[in-house]
Amino acid sequence: MSDWIGNGIEGWAEQLLATRFETLLVREPAPGVLLVTLNRPDASNAFNTRCGHELFAVFHPLELDRNRFRAVILTGAGDKAFCAGGDLKERKGLSEDEWVLQHEFFERTFRHVLNCPVPVIAAVNGAAYGGGLELVLQCDFAYAARGARFALSEVTLGIMPGGGGTQTLPRVVGERRAKELILAAKPFTAEQALAWGVVNEVFEPDALLDGALAIARRIAGNAPLAVRQAKHSIHHGLQMDINSGMLFEIEAYQRMVKSEDRVEGVRAFNEKRQPVFKGR
């Protein structure tokens, strides 16, 4: 899957879709929508080293070619778990040095999800524990199946969240609730996740993927440059004071004034037709 690095970015998406991964299923269910499924249902879709490498192989090129796919959905195989976090059976045999190296690679992969210029939607089909919940929190937003459960349970294992959980969860639910959930390793339901802003909507299990696909198609139909710049502005602006954020937003906005998509969007509106956006 890494051959595109040496051969150039052209044709990487077709190569990606044709690749038979060991731990992932990757397909394009609608034009411009990439569906990535964690495919280790017998292990509750837990991360092993191979899964970390394969997720990296999927998300890294999205930073380089930002037009081929316009929305990404991340989900898990089966109806039991979205992802149970790190594979503790594999980790049982790791030395301390191997553990550290593996975790550093997982962190790098998670950062590629967080910084992906293309919107990433989590479709949480079951339990999202430990690194599984951290992966959900790296996505732009999430939908969940009714009955899904969530927890950052690392402190019960003598470790702590290390996939961004101590940073992302407080930004979503607030410091005091995040401390309660992390320090007590307290699980919570899909309905609580909805009330606290961890997920945007709760679906019946058989409607979850359709719901995620509907919003992904809607995103994919919008101007990709505008979507990317808006995501960029929201994400980075929240790290600033309001005045700095407003200035950041204006700089992001100005990049689109001279774009072909801006011209096409206004023309299509006046001609009463659907725009054809090209991401430039």
Given a cut of 90, is residue 21 above it in pLDDT? yes
pLDDT grade for 187, boundaries at 50, 70 and 90: very high
Q: Which two tokens stand for residue 225?
A: 């440059």
Phi, psi values for residue 149, rounded to 5°: -125, 150
3 has pLDDT over 70: no
Do residues 67 and 279 make contact, with C-beta atoms less than 8 angstroms apart?
yes
Which of 134, 180, 201, 204 is catalytic? The answer is 134
Tell me what the pLDDT averaged over the chain comes to: 89
Active site residue 204: no
pLDDT digits (tens, 9 = 90+) for 217-255: 999 999 888 899 899 999 998 889 999 988 988 888 888
User: Mean per-residue pLDDT for 11-33?
Assistant: 91
- Do the beta carbons of residue 237 and residue 245 sit within 8 Å? yes
Give per-residue burial for 249-273: e unless 16+ CB within 10 Å, then b.
beebeeebeebebbebbeeeeeeee
Tell me, what's the pLDDT at 142? 98
The pLDDT score that the predictor gives to residue 96 is: 80
Q: Which tokens belong to 91?
A: 């980790």
Mean pLDDT to the nearest integer, 165-193 = 97
Which candidate in 28, 90, 154, 251 is catalytic? Answer: 154
Using DSSP, state whether 274 is helix, strand or coil: coil
154 is catalytic: yes
pLDDT surpassing 70 at residue 165? yes
pLDDT band at 109 (very low <50, low <70, confident <90, very high): confident
The predicted model gives 26-46 an average pLDDT of 95
In this model, does residue 6 exceed pLDDT 60?
A: no
Q: Could you give the C-alpha distances from 279 to 70, 137, 260, in angstroms and in order?
A: 10, 27, 8
Instruction: Specify the pLDDT at position 258.
Output: 84
According to DSSP, residue 147 is labeled T
Domains and CATH numbers, the chain: 3-220 (3.90.226.10), 224-270 (1.10.12.10)
